[in-house]
Structure 1
Amino acid sequence: MDTNAVKTYGIGELLGMARERAVPVVRGIADAALAGRTPCAEYDVKALVNHVFQVVVQFQRLAAKEASDFGETPDRVAGSPEWRERLVEEVDRLVAAWSAPGAEEGTTGAMDMPARLVGSMALLDLTVHMWDLARATGQEYPGADAAVVAELAGAVDELAPTARRMGVFGEPVPVAEGASAFERLLARTGRNPYGE
């Protein structure tokens, strides 16, 4: 295979790649870890899982050009021992929604953003928050596929100024000279890829 050939992946394909990395992390979160700290200061593990649930469900709606509601985040973890498998099912629905014909075309969401960029936002959350959850629960996160990192690098370029103003991203963190592309991506969102 010619490694110089550049393949353009659809958001659905990229989300499918991220799903493969995410599912073992979700299934590896012990109930005893739910109260633990995460690299996202405002979230403990349970709150971050609920946030990921909310993102995954609402971005399915955005793929279909439907109205989304990011207001109140329901607690989908409490009282449900099956929350891990329900989250995996919702991630599967997210992949399917963004794989549907037309999902990446036009604009979507209250801010009428380009649909592909909105899909990249879902990809960013599914990738970076899974790293957060792995880090918080003592799991290894194997990084992200090169195609996913390439898509997210462009999305972070576009989103970073607004995301920093809104407090979604922290200030960039310095990285070692030999840092991987994924470590550099994490650092650009304000995460320390080498620790909390």
Structure 2
Amino acid sequence: MNQKAEKTQKISELLEASGARAVAVLDGIGDEQLDRRTPCTEYDVRALVNHLFQVVVQFQALAAKKDADFSGSVDLFGAGSDWRERFAAEVRLLVDAWAAPGAEEGTTGQMGFPARTVGQMVLGDLTLHAWDLARATGLPYAPDEAVVADLAPAVAAIAPGAREAGVYGAPVEVPEDAPDFDVVLATTGRDPRWRP
């Protein structure tokens, strides 16, 4: 029964749990660490924070059945305000957007994906990139168990298409008894043992 409850938990609740952990990671990043490399080879810490911020903002629009626009670039660090506070505020808005009535119903986005699948996409980005940033900066990170339970089948289902689109890398081998989150990381092309 508990496992079934986890699978049907609202995306907004899962985002709240994952978002709190992501905010804690960003709060711990020092400005002197922004140039460090991350498990996402195309991003250093600064670029990955900017990317994650853009994801958090654009998926608010998707929750409201509006189109997202990833064409522009974001510079969270040049805005003259505290980037950590701005990120935390946008995560709160993301949670609220996905908690709105009807957010998980129907389809959303230009490709017409089921809304819940789109919600799982942003949940994946928030969870995985928080791990990326924590690993890059030496901060502790443990994802919420209910989040991992929801993400594991979702990531496995979208992995082939995500690899074809260049979003996920080739899967990484992990032991058969690897923790569930290690399997999720490996499915997306991340090495759970990655160190800077």
Matched with 1:87 is 87
Matched with 2:108 is 108
Classify the secondary structure of the residue corresponding to 1:6: helix
Matched with 1:69 is 69
Q: TM-score, normalised by structure 2?
A: 0.94
Q: CA RMSD in A?
A: 1.5
Q: What whole-Å deviation, never above 9, does each CA across 1:110-160 have from its counterpart, x for those lacking one?
A: 101100000000000000000000011111112x22221121112212211
Q: What whole-Å deviation, never above 9, does each CA across 1:150-187 have from its counterpart, x for those lacking one?
A: 21112212211111012111111111343211111101
Tell me, which stretches of 5 or more residues in structure 2 are unaligned? none
One-letter amino acid matched to 2:169: G
Deviating more after overlay: 67-76 vs 5-14: 5-14
Measured after TM superposition, the shift of residue 81 of structure 1 is: 5.0
The residue correspondences of 1:28-177 to structure 2 (distance < 5 A) are 28-78=28-78, 80=80, 82-142=82-142, 144-177=143-176
One-letter amino acid matched to 2:129: H
Measured after TM superposition, the shift of residue 79 of structure 1 is: 5.1
Q: Distance in 1 between matches of 2:81 and 2:33?
A: 14
Deviating more after overlay: 170-179 vs 97-106: 170-179
One-letter amino acid matched to 1:190: G
The structure with the largest helix share of the pair is 2
Give 4+ residue runs of structure 1 displaced > 3 Å after superposition: 2-7
Whether the 8 Å CA contact 2:50–2:75 is kept in 1: the answer is yes
> Identity, % of aligned pairs?
57
One-letter amino acid matched to 2:130: M
Gap change, CA 1:190 and 1:15, over 3 Å in 2: same
